[in-house]
Structure formats: structure tokens, C-alpha cells
Structure 1
Amino acid sequence: MTDGTPTTLTDRIEAALRDVRDPNADLSVFDAGFVENIDAADGEVTIEADLTALDGQTSTQVVQAMLHAVDDVDGVDSVHVERTTPTGEGNAGVESFDRVVAVASAKGGVGKSTVATHLACALAADNDVALFDADIHGPNVPELLDVSGPVHSSEEGDPLPVRAGDMDVMSVGLMESGAPLAWRGAMAHDALNDLFENTAWRNDDVLVLDLPPGTGDVVLTTLQEVPVDGVVVVTTPFHASVSDTSRTVELFRDNDVPVLGTVVNMAEYVCDCCGEPNDLFTGDALGDLDAEVLAELPFSHDLQGTPAPGSVPDAVSSLGDAVESALDTAGEVGVDPTADIRDLQPQERKDRVRERFTALDSGEPFVLVSDRDPTPVGQFLGRLAEAPREAFDPFEVRRETPEAWVLETAKP
């Protein structure tokens, strides 16, 4: 340049590109580090740009702005933006994550994807988070986060997730451009398996998996092939939803997946006019849930908006804290047992129960931990106490973890 005036074609192109801004950081594409090289030969211009830090929609907008800016430069006959990716970008496969949290539901329409998306954004306040939309027949995550494709590949050929702020996002919906999905068995299995194994994630702290509703092939495939550290199950307070949710919880436990707890969505609606909370569903079906309730989320406008990583409604922020605490204790039995008969031989089990139960005074609590359903132990306790089953109040049996059952009662 002479006296501040660009003299070569490359100089003029660079000057034009410095007027194109990164909308997220309000920097020029040069200062943001997007432009890696400019090749201007005989009026044919190729701009090499690394836009992997931007989500799909934003990167498309930046490319269009670059094309328009350079196309107006004197001496440019044609212009092309070639997207590049850093060598060795990302870690392929879900095994690279420290923790994997699945979000599931027994039914569709309970807000599972909404909860998964908001939960991922809540966890992103303190972690490097990725969100995997495995709901192959209804991939709603891109719409909920307002991100779009296309999905690009790393130099190794692995698919790169798009970015929602600092959060990685991958979904079949990003590759299908809104086309209806009618994939069956093997096709769905192969598509998901490829993404599970090969997606080049940038973040590696927590992966949130949005599973399809129900207990079909995709859910079972995920349980078999992805190292899930815990699952959060979403339900509404409606009795049919709660009943199906209890069976889904049992499925996960049967597959040795710790159930972190349940999220009760649409628990209430707060009137915009008077501010009074109102129940959307009648009855008290939640008593039938065989898992801790991590959060009861209201039906509110806050949860219908577009969440951002690290910026979520207060109720969802509390859910994120509850999930992290549950992850820290996943697999642990949260009671102080009177008798623990796990891994004991049959006669040793009976002797341990007899010893600990008979040592109690009337009215004292008895808490038994077992590695199998201890319901039949109730008959043995009745013989020891010389009392009918009705005399034991309370008498509760629950599956605390995939490997542990708990019986809680009191000596008559």
C-alpha cells in the first residue's frame, strides 16, 4: 500500500474483507482469525477460511458477506470461499468424554428434547459440553437451539459438530436439511453408530444425549454402544405418563444404567394475570415414581424460548446442579443400612437379617440393602417378629441402583 491506498489486488481484497465482521465477537474476519489465505490469480479469487468456531447459520452468513464484499473489488472476476478445518481437529467418538448423560422419556410430547437442550445449556455454565441429538425420527435440537448445517468434515474425514456458542451440537437433523426421516432398524442403527464413533468433538467434559422416546431399537443400541454414566427420565404428572416412566426406569436399571432421577415437566402453570400457580394435571401420580425427582419444571414462556449455553431459567439451572450431584453419587446407595446382604451366601443372608432384626427394639427402623429384590424377606421378618405383614408399617421396597435394592420398614 502507498499513502494508505491498496495497490495490489490482494491488498484490495484484504481491505474489503476487513469490513466483514464476526457477529458474535464484533471483530473483523481477520481479527477473529477466520481468514487463513487469499489466492488471487488472474481475477479468480479463492479465500481459505476456518469458520468451525461458528454455528452453521452464522458461518453461512459470514461466507455470504465475504463473497459480496470481495465481488465488488475492482479486478475480481470470480470469488470462492473454501472452508478449512484445523489439522487434528476434535476428538472422535463419545469415549472422549468424561461423563455421558442420557435424557429419555417413555412417551413423546412430554418435553424431553426441551429438557435435554436446556440441561446441556445449564451444564455448559461450568463445563465444556456437547449435545448429541439421537432422536433420529424427530431431531428437534437444531430448531430448539436455532442452529443449522451443513455439517463439515475435519481433514481426517470425521464430521464436525456445529457450534451453539461454546457448545458442540450434533444431530441427524443438521444433515438432512429438514427432510422427513423414515429410517428403519439397520439404517437408523448404522447412521447413529457412525456418528457415535466418528464425530470430531471439540469439547470433552460432558456429553448430553437426547434419546428418542420409548424403548425401541435406537435406545437399546445407545445403551449397548455408548458408555452412559446416568440417565435423566422426563415425564409429566399425568398418571399414564408416570406409569410408563416407571417401566422405562426399570429398563435402564436392567441394562445397568444408573438412573440419576426424573424431571417432572409441565408440573404447573402460573397465570400471567394473577400470578397464581395452577396444576395442569389432576391427581397425585408422582407417588408411583421409583426414582428421585430432580426438578419439577413449570409450563412457562421461559422454557419455550431459545436457551444459550450458560444462560437458562433458574429452574433449569437448579436442575443442572442436581444432575451434577447425582452424577457424583451415581451407583451409590443413599441409605445407612441396618443389614447389607449383598454378595453373601443364602444362609449367611438369613443369619445377617436375623441377627440385625432381632437386636432392634419395637418401633425401630430396619433398612436392608440387597443385590436382588428383597420383597420375599418380608415373610421372614414376619416369622421373626411373630406378626402379620400388615403390622409392618411402612414397608417399602425400591431399586436404588442397577445393582442394589433397598427394603425399609420398622420392627412391629
Structure 2
Amino acid sequence: MTPDDTTRDDATAVDDRLEPALRQVREPNADVDVIDAGLVQRATLDGGVACVGLDAATLDAGTIREVTTAVDSAVRDVPAVDSVTVRRAAPTSDPGATGTDAFERVIAVASAKGGVGKSTVATQLACALAANGDDVALFDADIHGPNVPALLDVSGPVHATEDGAPRPVRSEGLEVMSVGLLSDGAPLAWRGAMAHDAVSDLFADTAWTNTDTLVVDLPPGTGDVVLTTLQEVSLDGAVVVTTPFHSALSDTEKTVELLRENDVPVLGTAVNMAGFTCERCDHDHDLFAGDTPPAERLDTTALARLPFTPALQETPTPTAIPDPVADLAAAVEERYDAVWSVDLPESGVDLRGVPADERRDAVADAFGALEAGEEFVVASDRDPTPVRAFLGDLADGDAPERFEVRRQNPETWLARTVHP
């Protein structure tokens, strides 16, 4: 890896008259120009005086001299330039927070089979969330088929912080990390342990600066890398991608089961290639037969039906979100809020974080304040099923007939009943 960012972003001020010359200068350690390599922090031209600031904090001394000399020579040949000053600029970028715990939330995109459009949905969703105002990062964990760089049209090299942590590549405000950015395009024939270590290291070490939402593009299936992610990364939700084809749905049931077994909230299902609109007759047509809606068969929430359309095959960008993808992002936000927002009625009791020796009194006080027929809701960080018997004791042995228990998210159980 080589130091610092890999792509020019809007914060990089480069005078249009100097840019063509700077793009002729190559970063010696990678086959990209110094602008795309992130080495040019600024390049100004005022009254014939050109000033170029280079962010080369972790380049070795020999490489720094080579780049500085090449930049000076290239800019000096610009007709409007009378004099050139090249300085090493002080780094202005955030060194970044490492590890997935740095994020406000982590959402995985999963599928049971390859070829259903999982990576396309992951990249489109990341762009849509960014368009809604989030600082979004995208992690391509599909180690044997890392398609995210090609879908977003980004490439390496991956640079490093002063501490040696890999920096994600930037693409129109998104931060992107993928093993595909680290390889030279050769097939990745890694055995289980190697794949496990590679993904674990990238999850732990990548220096992120966009820390609102991390979208993780999981590999298809239920293999080692998927299990590693479920066990080592605290996922706040998962979007399951499938086509309506019967064999895809059959396999997807196993993916949904695996996610739930590992306490990952399944936000819902995005049905890709759900149909298409005929250009001649302007009628909608299904691509796959089937009477049962996929989300119903999978016992999940239907997030979106994504059509087979050229708009979803174009390079995703936060500045141009197709309507079906915007609807998907809105549905994901709604489901995420539903899963993680716990709104208790005033008559309810929240036992989360309450010491064990105080819980009975808290339940007794709240339940005792109710009138017959009023609803009683308990929020707990453990299975509240035993509360039913305790309520029976409080009501002179008349245990509630209806006592519904539901795990809303990995941290919260809800119990609902009515005071007898």
C-alpha cells in the first residue's frame, strides 16, 4: 500500500490550467497520476506564480524528491506559468477511525446465491443513503468475487495512514474498501483461513472517516467469510437480496435463518429483477413465475421490487438515484427505525439496564398502577417470559391470558399483556 487518499475529491483545489500538466506526472508506486493518487492537495496559479501543495507524508525521501522534481518540471512548462513553488503540505485529512465500532450503524446486504444482483443492490443502497445525507462507507466483503470497485468504477492503489492503516478509496463522497482494490486483478484463490484473516484484518484496520453508516456487501451463501462477519461484526440489520426464482428463494430461506440465528435483525427483502417494462407495448411483465410473494415466503418485510432496467445497470452515484432505489432506501430507513426505536406507553416499564434486584419492584409498581383492561408493556434486555407468572402472583393468581413476547432487536425484548 502507498500513503494517503487515492482519488481527487471536491475539497482538492486544482487550477484548471495546471491540471493537464499534473496529470502527466505519475505516482511512482502505482500506475496513476499524482492527482488521482491523492498527492496534490492544491495547485493554484495567480499572476504567473504557480503554487503546488503535495500531501506526501508517508512517502520515502527518494520518492518525495522524484515527485517534487517531476511536478516542478511539468508545471513550469505551462505557458501561463512564470515561476513554480512546490511544497509538502501539512496533511489536513482526518487520520480516520479504525474498526466497525466507529460507525453509528452497520447494515449488511446478503444473498444466498451469486448472480442475483446483491453487489448492485449494495452499491445502489450505499449511494442512496449518502444522497439522503449520511456519511456512508461501503465494505466489499465478497472476497472471492469483489465486484464493488468495478460497479463504482474505482480503482487502487490503497494508500496508508502514518500508522500503516489502509485508507478507503473515495468515490463522490462515498468511502470504499474492497480486497479487489488490493489485488492486481488476478483470481483470488484463497482457502478458508486466508480469506478469514484477510477480511478480519480489513474490518479491524481500515481507517474510515465516513462513520454514519457502513454498508457491508457480504459474499453469497453461508460460507466462512459470512460466518466471520456475523460473529465478529456487530450488524444492526441486514437486507436480503433475491430474485423471484423458486430455487433462489429456497436457498434464501437458509440465509434468513442464518442471520436470525446470529441475532442479526432482518430488515427485509429486496426482490431484484422482479420484472421489466416492454419498450414496445409499455406493459409490465414478470421475469419469473410464482404465486407467493418472495417476502411472504421468506417471512420478511418486502422492502422493494427492483425492475430489470438499464437505469439500475449504470454506474451508481449519490447524485443520480433511480426511483426504485430511492424507494428501497426509504424502506430500509423505515424498517431500521421500527427495529431500533422502542416507544413505550407511559404505563409501560423499561427494564433495560435496571439491576436484577430492582426489576420486580419496577414491574410491580407499573402494573399496580393500571386499571383492569389497560395494556401493559415491558421492555427488557432478556427474555421477559417469566414476568407472566410474576404478574399472576400480583393479581392473586389470575395470570394474564394473553402474554405476547417478541424480540424486537438483539438488545430489546418486548412483552405485551392486559391487566386482568
Q: Is this a same-fold pair by TM over 0.5?
A: yes
Quote the residue 1:316 is aligned against: 325
Q: Does 1:228 align with 2:263?
A: no
**The one of 162, 165, 180 aligned to 1:158:** 165
Contact 2:339 / 2:408 at 8 angstroms: preserved in 1? no
1:254–1:332 Cα change, 3 Å: farther
- List gaps (5 residues or longer) in structure 2: 1-14, 24-34, 57-63, 80-85, 346-373
**The one of 134, 154, 158 aligned to 1:127:** 134
1:304–1:37 Cα change, 3 Å: closer
1:156–1:282 Cα change, 3 Å: same
Q: Does 1:370 align with 2:379?
A: no
Quote the residue 1:58 is aligned against: none
Quote the residue 2:6 is aligned against: none
Q: Does 1:237 align with 2:244?
A: yes
Task: Give the whole-Å Cα distance in 1 for the aligned partners of 2:286 and 2:259.
Answer: 29
1:326–1:172 Cα change, 3 Å: same
Quote the residue 1:98 is aligned against: 104
Contact 1:149 / 1:162 at 8 angstroms: preserved in 2? yes
Contact 1:47 / 1:81 at 8 angstroms: preserved in 2? no
Task: Give the whole-Å Cα distance in 2 for the aligned partners of 1:355 and 1:326.
Answer: 33
Contact 1:120 / 1:208 at 8 angstroms: preserved in 2? yes
The alignment partner of 1:124 has SS state of helix
Q: Does 1:207 align with 2:214?
A: yes
Quote the residue 2:122 is aligned against: 116
Quote the residue 1:252 is aligned against: 259
Q: Does 1:197 align with 2:210?
A: no
Contact 2:53 / 2:87 at 8 angstroms: preserved in 1? no
Contact 2:385 / 2:405 at 8 angstroms: preserved in 1? no
1:143–1:196 Cα change, 3 Å: same
1:87–1:157 Cα change, 3 Å: farther
Quote the residue 2:10 is aligned against: none
The alignment partner of 2:384 has SS state of coil
Q: Does 1:280 align with 2:287?
A: yes
Contact 2:389 / 2:399 at 8 angstroms: preserved in 1? no
Task: Give the whole-Å Cα distance in 1 for the aligned partners of 2:225 and 2:51.
Answer: 38
1:335–1:288 Cα change, 3 Å: farther
Superimposed CA distance per residue, residues 92-148 of structure 1 (whole angstroms, 9 cap, x where no aligned partner):
221111110000001111100000000000000111100000000000000000000
**The one of 345, 354, 365 aligned to 2:386:** 345
Task: Give the whole-Å Cα distance in 2 for the aligned partners of 1:228 and 1:320.
Answer: 17
The alignment partner of 1:250 has SS state of helix
Superimposed CA distance per residue, residues 62-93 of structure 1 (whole angstroms, 9 cap, x where no aligned partner):
x9xx698359589xxxxx99999657522122
Superimposed CA distance per residue, residues 38-68 of structure 1 (whole angstroms, 9 cap, x where no aligned partner):
99xxxx964459xxxxxxxxxxxxx9xx698
Task: Give the whole-Å Cα distance in 2 for the aligned partners of 1:140 and 1:83.
Answer: 35
Quote the residue 2:305 is aligned against: 296
TM-score in terms of structure 1 length: 0.69
Q: Does 1:30 align with 2:65?
A: no
The alignment partner of 2:182 has SS state of helix
Task: Give the whole-Å Cα distance in 2 for the aligned partners of 1:226 and 1:128.
Answer: 19
Q: Does 1:168 align with 2:175?
A: yes
The amino acid that maps onto 1:124 is: A
Contact 1:122 / 1:309 at 8 angstroms: preserved in 2? yes
Contact 1:67 / 1:81 at 8 angstroms: preserved in 2? no
Quote the residue 1:262 is aligned against: 269
The aligned length equals 332
Quote the residue 1:383 is aligned against: none
1:335–1:235 Cα change, 3 Å: farther
Contact 1:89 / 1:200 at 8 angstroms: preserved in 2? yes
- List gaps (5 residues or longer) in structure 1: 1-13, 50-62, 75-79, 358-365, 372-398, 408-412
Q: Does 1:140 align with 2:147?
A: yes
**The one of 334, 349, 369 aligned to 1:325:** 334
Runs of 4+ in 1 over 6 A off after TM superposition: 21-24, 80-84, 332-341, 349-352, 403-407
1:295–1:150 Cα change, 3 Å: same
CA RMSD, aligned part only?
Answer: 4.2
Quote the residue 1:390 is aligned against: none
